[in-house]
């Protein structure tokens, strides 16, 4: 979902897609594993 990848919120995506319920939009949202890896902290390390 380009809205989320571009920094938009799930609510914004919901409104753009015309969904009544956020849960409907969530069914279409995908996890971007590459971006998530950048954010994840390696096990045992504390971010500074």
Can you give the pLDDT at residue 14?
A: 93
pTM greater than 0.85: no
- Summarised one tens digit per residue, pLDDT across range 1-48 is 588 888 889 999 999 999 999 999 998 888 778 877 777 777 777 767
Which token pair is 7? 């920094």
Q: Measuring CA to CA, how many Å separate 18 from each of 12, 14, 24, 36?
A: 10, 6, 10, 27
**What pLDDT is recorded for position 47?**
67
Q: With beta carbons less than 8 A apart as the criterion, state whether 1 and 13 touch.
A: yes
Q: What is the pLDDT of residue 17?
A: 92
Which pLDDT score, from 0 to 100, does residue 1 have? 59
CA 22 → CA 29, 42, 45, distances in Å? 11, 31, 34
Contact 4, 12 (CB under 8 A): no
């Amino acid at each position: 979902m380009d809205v989320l990848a571009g920094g938009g919120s799930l609510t914004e995506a919901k409104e753009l897609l015309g969904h009544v319920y956020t849960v409907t939009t969530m069914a279409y949202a995908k996890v971007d594993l590459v971006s998530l890896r950048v954010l994840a902290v390696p096990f045992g390390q504390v971010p500074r």
